[in-house]
Amino acid sequence: MRARDFPFLHPRALRVAPLGCALAAGLACTAAAARPADEDQQTDPRTATLERIVVTAEKQGRSQHDTATSTAVLSGQDIDQRGFTGSRDVFTGAANVTYLGQDNAAPAIRGIDGSGAAVGVDAYFAGSRARLGITLDGRPLSFNEIVFADTALWDVAQSELLRGAQSLLQGRNAIAGTLAIKTNDPTFSTEGGALLSAGNYDHYQGAFYFSAPLVDDELAFRVAADLQHHDSFLDYTGVPGAKNPGRFETRNVRAKLLYTPKAYPDFRQLITLQHTDSLAPQSETTHYPYTSHEASTPQMPVFETRANALVSDTQWRRGERLQLRNLFTATDLNVDRYALPGSGIAHIDARQYTLEPNLVLDRGDSAFSGIAGLYLFRSRQDETIDYPFDERFHDRVDTEALYAQGTLALSEQWDLTLGARYERERHRRDGGDAYRYIALDLDKTWHTFLPKLDLAWHPNAAWTFGLLAQRGYNAGGGGVTLGFPSATIYTYDPEYVRDYEAYFRAELADGRLQLNGNLFYGDYKGLQLPFLTSMEPYYQFVIRNANRAYNTGAELGLRWRASPELDVHASLGVLRTRITDDAGWGTQGHDFSDAPKLTGGLGASWRGAGGVELNFDAHYSGSYYSDVQNTPMAHIDPYWMGRINGGYHLGSAYVFAGVNNLFDHRDPLTIYVYANTGAYSAYNTGTMPEPRTWYAGVRVDFR
């Protein structure tokens, strides 16, 4: 490691340290008096403890109490109780996360756009580069699955949202963060369930799961399926291939086979087959002043994303501390964009593979634990689009990485973690049209070294305090701007972040109260930003690297079992962003796009006598700009959104009903400004939230 990779004395980095030290000092005053939670104690139901959260996305299965990363973790029970049906529900309401509606963009985390700088047609011409990674049972989802599909949350064991750069252990496309979704595994006892629900806007969901042993204690299977659909609240006109562009449909089928041979009791093999099919309009946008139910593009293009995938997860424990693992994924992806002829009828045929063997060393009675692994990624993608001419592209990405992370117990109270990742990626993309209006020939190779340092202090079993420094990375790419007599091809460089964090974790009140918090400062070099180069009415997007920028703030989380009947959860996000050197593109001193200074959430789950349940969630977002130009007409006002649901248990059945967007918020979540003033302002479009919706249904489980 080089000293410049960890400039702890950087003046801006030191801004976090006093805050962290002050917070640690204040909390430590109560730490000695706090009564630590005993994980093994058998408690009276009146003082039942919260379950300790285990974070699996960092590959070592650490408790949240011992994890430095800022996380928002939901168990399968949390997801079911709150009425969450898709991954977008997880993002909505999380601290320092901005969900932007059905559009060309993934959520922004800490002001970093999860879809990357290249979106829309620019992403199609020159290749996409997401900043937010989503994994489903270890399989990394593609750009189109992240942006245009909504990953179903049926029969899910846990979802883990990791904020900030996750480049060391997650690798590519994770500089903003990662959402890891783990579904339920097969069981050696028979169980099953089904769900039916319906609501306004032609909402429907039908789902089931079933698990049973094939060979006692050796071989078991699980199948799950989920069908959801609803109609948009906007009015659309049909396009070829999609008679109803306002129709949202998702189909998910999953089959798992678990093998644990008696002859090798420390061996575990899990095979997962996944099929997903998602159909949705490209965006739900309307024109200024954003009050009409008429879509900004009545004949809106529709994206259909289909994926068939295999996941092989092998684990073999060798002794008490050492475990060998291997994760292999293969995905066959097909994406169709249905549109009017000549306006972007497109098709993507892609194949993606990952291979990740690693060694995990548990601490046991030793002072050291760690992980070391190899990561290989391969993608082959063929694309066609009939705009501006008949364009054809071939895309190839090859990534190799080595990573390692180790934790040494310096004493009973102090742990030191060091880690590093070396990654090499080659991206080749070529193609265009017969007229050579677009003639793309990109062949770039990037190398990067990503170190990490974490120092944790455990004054007692109830409290953890720590300091974290790490480097994040996202590869560069290319872009296309349309002009006359030919398009302009350009490239942009990788982006890097030096992330400094101070954190605390606490388990108090005999395990009935869990607190966590992270203070962070991200120093970005080469941040990739989209710029609007001209306006009224002609415009072009171009991606450029800002020399320097930063984000800083905090995330706080709380889980509290107030009584055996009542659970309370809350979160708070504070954020400040600034472009400090934009390389002359006119955005110096501006905020990042989609970066509200304050976000937060509050919710409760109540389980009454006789089987009654009631759940409520509300979240707040402060104001923000939708573009890095900080255009006044792209300003989003503060807003509240909420949801409520409840039901009644009748034996093995649960009858429920709920309302989403409880306060019926109807203002845009994103605004695209194509003109600031004058007659052309009517061209500006806003991405709208779904209005208030209701649903009711029944769920049956048996075991």
Query: What is the reported pLDDT for 29?
Result: 40
* pLDDT-derived band at 105, boundaries 50, 70, 90: confident
| DSSP 8-state class, residue 35 | -
pLDDT at residue number 30: 39
pLDDT per residue as tens digits for the range 6-22 = 333 344 443 444 444 44
pLDDT on residue 532: 67
- The residue type of 140 is P
Rg (CA), the chain: 25
% of the chain residues with pLDDT over 90: 77
Burial letters 234-265, b for 16+ CB under 10 A, else e: bebeebeebebbbbbebbbebebebbbeeeee
479: domain CATH number is: 2.40.170.20
pLDDT at 418 over 70: yes
Q: Per-residue pLDDT tens for 267-319? A: 999 999 999 999 999 999 999 889 888 899 999 999 999 999 999 999 999 98
**Distances in Å between the alpha carbon of 215 and those of 15, 186, 202, 271?**
59, 12, 43, 16
Q: What is the pLDDT of residue 585?
A: 84
Distance CA 69, CA 63 (A): 11
Q: How confident is the model at residue 243 (pLDDT cuts 50, 70, 90)?
A: confident
Which residue would you say has higher pLDDT here, 34 or 207? 207
Instruction: Fill in the DSSP letter of residue 239.
Output: B
- Residue 679: pLDDT band (50, 70, 90) is low
pLDDT at 533: 63
What is residue 624's predicted lDDT score, i.e. its pLDDT? 98
pLDDT value of residue 9: 36
Helix/strand/coil for 301? coil
pLDDT value of position 24: 40
Residue-level pLDDT at 413: 97
Per DSSP, the residues of 553-612 read EEEEEEEEEEETTEEEEEEEEEEEEEEEE-SSSS-TTPPPTT--SEEEEEEEEEE-TTSE
**pLDDT above 70 as % of the chain:** 90
| Mean pLDDT calculated for residue range 510-526 | 97
Residue 146's closest CA among 183, 111, 110, 109?
Answer: 109
Residue 440 domain boundaries: 3-702
C-beta separation of 382 from 370 below 8 A: no
Whole-number average pLDDT of the chain: 90
Residue 484 pLDDT level (bands cut at 50, 70, 90): confident
CA–CA dist 260, 16 (Å, integer): 48
Would residue 121 be called left, alpha or beta, if left means φ above 0 and alpha means ψ between -120 and 50 degrees? alpha
**Interval 86-94 mean pLDDT:** 92
Q: What are residue 112's DSSP bridge partners?
A: 109
* Buried-state track 602-620, b at ≥16 Cβ within 10 A, e below 16: bbbbbbeeeeebebbbbbb
Comparing 235-249, 267-281, 490-504, the range with the smallest average pLDDT is: 235-249
The mean-pLDDT minimum among 67-81, 211-225, 503-517, 677-691 falls in: 677-691
537 prior amide bond cis, ω within 30? yes
Bridge-based pairing state of the strands 132-136 and 177-183: parallel
> What integer pLDDT is reported at residue 22 of this predicted model?
41
- Please give the DSSP secondary-structure letter assigned to residue 617: E
Q: What sign does the dihedral 352-487-445-113 (CA atoms) show?
A: negative
Distance in angstroms (rounded) separating the CA atoms of residues 351 and 148: 18
**CA–CA separation, 306 vs 515, rounded Å?**
40
pLDDT, one tens digit per residue, over 19-51 is 444 434 344 443 333 434 443 333 343 448 899
Burial class from Cβ neighbours inside 10 Å (0-12, 13-18, 19+) for residue 700 reads middle
Average pLDDT rounded to a whole number, residues 82-108:
92
Tens-digit pLDDT profile for residues 303-360: 999 999 999 999 999 988 999 999 999 999 999 999 999 999 999 999 999 999 999 9
Phi, psi of 149 (to 5 degrees): -110, 160
| Residue-wise pLDDT tens digits, 683-694 | 889 999 999 999
C-beta neighbour count of 12 within 10 angstroms:
16
Average of per-residue pLDDT across 473-488: 84
- Confidence bin at 364 (pLDDT 50/70/90): confident
Q: Which amino acid is at 564?
A: P
* Confidence band of 253 (pLDDT split at 50, 70, 90): very high
111: left (phi over 0), alpha (psi -120 to 50) or beta: left
Which pLDDT score, from 0 to 100, does residue 490 have?
87
Q: pTM for the full model?
A: 0.91
What's the number of domains the chain is made of?
A: 1
